[in-house]
């Protein structure tokens, strides 16, 4: 049957439902499907709309199941922890229940966007008080997207989408495909959206060459996959299935998708514990990045407290935390506190931080404390340091030019002050 004829039949089907007349139930032909025994063994059922269908698989995990360093019950604790958060953050689930979050991932026939890229697997997970339920909707043949999206959207009752790079890829793809059949399936719900990819980049890019989910699992979450099918092979496996109908490869793709969803639950837990200081262990660098993230999202008071904790608790000076805290003090017009912190690190900090610190000290000594001799000393130290470090030619010339301009201005002020004092001294002697 052509897609046009399927749409026509489906339109009549939807009209009957809108008029209050129950839609006719299609006869179940699942037993006639190739390899149906294998599908059944893997917990799959068929979802029919008229004579078309998709396949739906459901798997459940107990709430105490361990996935990486956390159990799924820890996720419930994470959502509860947000309820006491006094700030504002893009990952905050304050006001939400743990069952409101919708962990979502797709598998597609390609990595590009547009109508030529088809989603063949829609996977989502839900955390209840007692278990995690992972549901997957599979497209058994091209052109069967109406039952695929109907089965998916008829059972979506969540408030907030949780994805990994889903804002840029997964959900736009869903919207694109939904547009083609929107008259024949339920509307897309209006979701809030937590994209954990951006949080992972903020907290882990300093220690990972790539923040692909599988790398985050292995190096951050304590979870290692065994015999996993790489995501880039999923399109080839799907096309092979379309040709041969043997689901062996598809089962592996579904397992890959299922693990992605479970890891989203664990990752949201981990990011929350880091942000809300509920973690049992974290490196100083991770805690610093958490502080920066909180500061970036407007939670400056909480961020300042985190920087102060890092500085107090770390045996070795965390130069980045000290510098960031001093910048906060400067913004809050607490210049003396900022100077005290910067003076404590400007000799031993790594060169990039030392250069920033010397410039900040030169500014404050010149404009705030009026200690021009100290400001000139900071400029001279910064000029010497800049000459020793490698910059691009244009950038180097610009930095040197700005520093020499600042130095000349300070020297002019010193000369004027010296002349003024000299005149006052002469007047006094007369």
Largest CA distance in the chain: 117
The predicted pLDDT at position 13 comes to: 43
CATH topology of domain 284-420: 1.25.40
Predicted confidence at residue 23, as pLDDT, reads 45
Closest CA to 249 of 236, 263, 262: 236
Domain with CATH 3.30.420.10 in the chain: 34-275
What is the C-alpha separation between 204 and 193, in angstroms, rounded? 21
pLDDT at residue 430, rounded to an integer: 46
pLDDT (tens place) for every residue of the chain, 430 residues total: 444 444 444 444 443 344 443 343 456 666 678 899 999 999 999 999 888 999 999 999 999 999 999 999 999 999 999 999 999 999 999 999 999 999 999 999 876 555 567 899 999 999 999 999 999 999 999 889 999 999 999 878 777 899 998 888 788 888 888 888 888 888 887 778 999 999 999 999 888 999 999 999 999 999 999 989 988 899 999 999 999 999 999 999 999 999 999 999 999 999 999 999 887 667 778 889 999 999 999 999 999 999 998 888 867 778 999 999 999 999 999 999 999 999 999 888 998 899 999 999 999 999 999 999 999 999 999 888 877 766 677 777 778 888 889 889 998 988 887 755 455 554 454 4
Class of domain 34-275: alpha beta
Q: Where in the chain is the domain with CATH 1.25.40.10?
A: 284-420
Q: What Rg do the C-alpha atoms of the chain give, in angstroms?
A: 30
Q: Are strands 101-108 and 160-163 parallel, antiparallel or unpaired?
A: parallel
Q: How far is it, in rounded angstroms, from Cα 401 to Cα 407?
A: 10
CA distances from 63 to 200, 273, 394 (A): 24, 18, 58
Q: Residue 234: its pLDDT value, please?
A: 93
């Amino acid at each position: 049957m052509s897609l046009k004829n399927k749409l026509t039949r489906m339109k009549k089907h939807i009209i009957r439902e809108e008029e209050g007349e129950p839609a006719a139930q299609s006869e179940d032909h699942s037993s006639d499907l190739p390899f149906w025994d294998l599908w059944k063994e893997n917990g799959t059922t068929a979802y029919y709309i008229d004579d078309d269908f998709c396949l739906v698989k459901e798997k459940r995990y107990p709430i105490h199941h361990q996935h990486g360093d956390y159990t799924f019950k820890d996720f419930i604790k994470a959502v509860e922890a947000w309820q006491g958060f006094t700030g504002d953050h893009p990952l905050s689930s304050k006001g939400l229940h743990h069952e409101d979050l919708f962990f979502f991932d797709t598998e597609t026939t390609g990595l590009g966007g547009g109508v030529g890229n088809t989603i063949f697997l829609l996977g989502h997970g839900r955390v209840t008080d007692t278990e995690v339920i992972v549901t997957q909707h599979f497209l058994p043949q091209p052109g069967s997207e109406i039952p695929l999206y109907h089965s998916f959207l008829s059972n979506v009752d969540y408030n907030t989408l949780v994805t990994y790079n889903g804002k840029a890829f997964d959900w736009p793809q869903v919207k694109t495909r939904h547009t083609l059949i929107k008259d024949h399936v339920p509307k897309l719900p209006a979701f809030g959206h937590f994209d954990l990819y951006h949080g992972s980049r903020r907290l882990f890019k300093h220690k990972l060459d790539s923040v692909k989910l599988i790398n985050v699992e292995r190096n951050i979450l304590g979870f290692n996959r065994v015999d996993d099918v790489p995501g880039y092979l999923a399109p080839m496996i799907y096309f092979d299935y379309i040709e041969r109908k043997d689901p062996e490869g598809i089962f592996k793709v579904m397992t890959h998708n299922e693990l992605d969803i479970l890891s989203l639950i664990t990752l949201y837990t981990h990011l929350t514990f880091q942000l809300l200081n509920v973690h049992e262990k974290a490196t100083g660098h991770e805690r610093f990045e958490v502080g920066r993230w909180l500061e970036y999202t407007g939670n400056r008071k909480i961020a300042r407290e985190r920087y102060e904790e890092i500085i107090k608790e770390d045996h070795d000076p965390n130069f980045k935390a000290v510098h960031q805290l001093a910048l906060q003090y400067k913004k809050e017009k607490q210049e003396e506190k900022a100077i005290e912190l910067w003076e404590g690190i400007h000799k031993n900090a790594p060169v990039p931080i030392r250069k920033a610190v010397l410039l900040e000290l030169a500014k404050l000594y010149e404009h705030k404390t009026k200690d021009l001799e100290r400001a000139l000393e900071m400029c001279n130290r910064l000029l010497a340091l800049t000459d020793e470090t490698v910059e691009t030619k244009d950038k180097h010339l610009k930095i040197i030019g700005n520093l020499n301009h600042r130095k000349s201005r300070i020297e002019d002020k010193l000369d004027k002050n010296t002349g003024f004092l000299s005149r006052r001294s002469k007047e006094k002697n007369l």
